[in-house]
Amino acid sequence: MSIVSREEIAGALRRREFVLYYQPKVSLTSNRIVGAEALVRWQRPDGTLLPASAFIGAIERAGLLKSLTRRLLPQLVHDLVDGGLAEQFQVSFNVCSCDLENSTLTSMILDAIVRGGLPPAALELEITETQALQAAPCVLYNVQALTEAGIGLAMDDYGIGYSSIDTLSQWPFTTIKLDQGIVVRMLDSPKNATIVRSSIRLGHELGLEVVAEGVETLAQHDFLVEAGCGVAQGFLISRALPLEGFKAFCAAAGKCRGLPVGLVHMAIVDHVQWRRQLASFAIRRAALPPDAPLRQSAGHPTLCVTKCSLGRWYLNEGRYFAGTPTYHALDAPHRRLHEIGARIVERIRAGAGQADIAPLMRELKQVSLVLIGLLEDIEDDGFESLFTPAAAIHASRPLAAPLAPAVMPAMLHERS
């Protein structure tokens, strides 16, 4: 392909030849299309459509990346507000640190919220970890202004940098996007598989959405379902589509092998961590003098049955299994567990020693083992449903909404 000149790019910007296409994102827990990534395409006068990989480098070298972003933003806002996307989806939009070095883009987005009727939650900005690491302080300032207004922020290409965790701790990210290279390699490399599982777990613990990019095969899809990944995008679902094509795709019904079985394992781990945190609190405090002020302090996990991680899973993703007796059998021991936990905290604050709380600790463990056994039964049933011939029928059942489009094989020639 011939090198694109600065003059060609500048002319294309003036003629509005750069357009947005939308690549669907599918929930791996509900089988619904939950959003899209807005990707730039170059619609040439001769009818050819160029992917971003064919010209973004040239635009960067020409110093016109800011101009491209600012030219595309009004189209994105129009598609979200007037095109109806904001009513159902969150759409992500790639930016780089240079776009946010001054307040121009930030002001454009905030103005679209105030005057243009853009729901903040309908828009998510994507920035790579490398860009975040190299960004000046003013970039983070502008990003924080946008996230405080309700705009989402995704770390793109997660897993290829050298300090992702440190960056996550400093920036107000709401989503991490697993790099497609790691997704492609995870089935052939135990190390990459571990990175993917650990990244999903980290996102879960931090309360971040985890999106896997570049999903192209059912084997990759099933691995991500088992690992508890929340959202996937890639050619297995669909290539990037023009606005009307994206809306037509979302209106079509389909079936998917996904179900939230991976989140059952997450619920087990969450529960075990809750129990260990409570045990650590109790043992440490019980070793203190009976009148120690620290006995009255916080430090124990939540004792509210609906606010702990297991309780939130039970009332949300866990409802997928509400048609099974095992799901309903969880309620009584879960409530009993919190009753015992509350008694332990009460005894600690009253001055009880380790020997005094030992019977309650043993009872807590026994009830916990009952809960874990029930959750493992649900997990086993989930795997059986996922990988049996009847799985397509069973697993296509949504959580609480009519069946919506799901994974559709579409192995095409471009990645983005």
Contact in structure between 235 and 410 (CB atoms under 8 Å):
yes
Backbone angles phi, psi at 158, to 5 degrees: -60, 135
Compute the distance between CA of residue 143 and CA of residue 134 in angstroms, rounded to an integer: 14
Beta strand 231-232 with 18-27: parallel, antiparallel or unpaired? antiparallel
Residue located via tokens 């110093």: 63
Residues in a beta bridge with 19: 41
Nearest to residue 406, comparing CAs of 28, 37, 21? 28
* Total Cβ atoms within 10 A of residue 11: 12
Q: Is 213 a catalytic residue?
A: yes
Mode of pairing for the β-strands spanning 33-43 and 18-27: antiparallel
CA distance 57 to 388: 46
CB atoms within 10 A of CB 414: 15
Please report how many Cα atoms fall inside a 13 Å half-sphere around the Cα of residue 361, on the Cβ side: 18
Q: Which entry of 209, 213, 226, 379 is annotated as an active-site residue? A: 213
List the catalytic residues: 213
